[in-house]
């Protein structure tokens, strides 16, 4: 055991030496950190339990991709999780260990869905939102398939839903939709789009997150997340998929419409859940207004009412899945 000697002068007794643990302060700091991590875990579990205790038994989702995109951070005492790019380079046994630990941890906290993995192909490593942040497994579709299978195996063991993102694929983009319009019309590949439709039904939760990318050949007017054309085509291909929008407060979408209008457009088009982060903007009242607007519209529109009822049924099925 490491120790160091510190001199102490005792009156009339000369010089005495006594050992002192060099790691005492570090050990105390570790104890404090562990206590803080346990308290934070309790807080997260309590928050998830409150959400589940609501009459609607809300689904609890988290962005836990690994690397730069981790809401549950190792610095706060949560499990380590490498970026998707680093994950793909690991020996398979090590990659599986990371996925299993992360999925088990999320489930133990009361989380229902991980809004991951990223299926975007890394066709533009300079992409400020994907490639530059190591959020893509690879530019090779087969490597993406392999990594998604590892995550699916781990999530199934834990009983955790997964959500593939960001449809139809942001890998080739040159801009970040958090900050500005993202157009993938000239870089989107058939291979990238096919990964979503292929892997969705094979992945626990059967969910896809819709990006705010613009694909002009699909819809010249609206981004995918609020496009009746794009969402309708995907819904016909995957009737039972859970379709979730990316954060409707991103600046790349606000160039087209307000948050309330985006909610109405997305759900009317066939999306099932909308994400509103409420941290880029404070819009709690707008969220309530959007819900009230949809309710009024559905009362006078049988087709919209049926669309919303179908969405509710798909969400309810995931609640049953995650509660089991």
Return per-residue pLDDT of the chain as tens, 324 residues: 333 333 333 444 444 444 445 566 666 656 666 777 889 999 999 999 999 999 999 999 999 999 999 999 999 999 999 999 999 999 999 999 999 999 999 999 999 999 999 999 999 999 999 999 999 999 999 999 999 999 999 999 999 999 999 999 999 999 999 999 999 999 999 999 999 999 999 999 999 999 999 999 999 999 999 999 999 999 999 999 999 999 999 999 998 999 999 999 999 999 999 999 887 788 888 889 999 999 999 999 999 999 999 999 999 999 999 998
Find, among 52, 44, 35, 94, the residue nearest to 71 by Cα: 44
Find, among 89, 162, 173, 159, the residue nearest to 127 by Cα: 173
Local structure of residue 274 (DSSP, 8 states): E
The reported pLDDT for the residue numbered 6 is 35
For residue 210, give the 3-state DSSP assignment.
Answer: strand
Local structure of residue 174 (DSSP, 8 states): S
pTM of the model: 0.89
Distance from C-alpha of 87 to C-alpha of 212, rounded to nearest angstrom: 26
Catalytic positions, please?
178, 246
The reported pLDDT for the residue numbered 278 is 81
């Amino acid at each position: 055991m490491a120790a160091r000697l510190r001199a102490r002068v005792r009156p009339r007794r000369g010089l005495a030496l006594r050992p002192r643990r060099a790691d005492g302060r570090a050990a105390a700091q570790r104890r404090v950190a562990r206590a803080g991590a346990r308290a934070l875990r309790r807080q997260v579990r309590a928050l998830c339990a409150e959400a589940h205790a609501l009459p609607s038994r809300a689904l609890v989702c988290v962005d836990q991709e690994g690397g730069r995109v981790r809401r549950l951070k190792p610095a706060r005492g949560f499990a380590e999780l490498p970026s998707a790019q680093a994950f793909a380079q690991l020996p398979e046994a090590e990659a599986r260990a990371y996925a299993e630990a992360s999925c088990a941890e999320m489930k133990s906290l009361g989380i229902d869905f991980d809004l991951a993995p990223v299926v975007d192909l890394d066709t533009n490593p300079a992409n400020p939102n994907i490639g530059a942040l190591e959020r893509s497994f690879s530019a090779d579709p087969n490597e993406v398939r392999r990594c998604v299978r590892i995550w699916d195996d781990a999530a199934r063991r834990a009983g955790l839903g997964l959500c593939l993102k960001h449809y139809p694929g942001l890998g080739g983009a040159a801009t970040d939709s958090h900050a500005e319009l993202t157009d993938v019309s000239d870089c989107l590949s058939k291979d990238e789009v096919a990964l979503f439709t292929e892997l969705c039904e094979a992945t626990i939760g059967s969910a896809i997150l819709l990006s705010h990318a613009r694909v002009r050949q699909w819809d010249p007017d609206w981004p995918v997340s609020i496009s009746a054309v794009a969402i309708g085509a995907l819904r016909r291909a995957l009737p039972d998929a859970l379709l979730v929008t990316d954060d409707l407060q991103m600046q790349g979408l606000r160039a087209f419409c307000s948050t309330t209008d985006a909610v109405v457009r997305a759900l009317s088009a066939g999306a099932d859940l909308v994400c509103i982060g409420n941290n880029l903007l404070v819009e709690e009242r707008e969220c309530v207004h959007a819900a009230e607007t949809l309710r009024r519209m559905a009362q006078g529109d049988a087709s919209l009412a049926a669309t919303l009822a179908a969405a509710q049924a798909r969400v309810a099925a995931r609640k049953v899945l995650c509660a089991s």
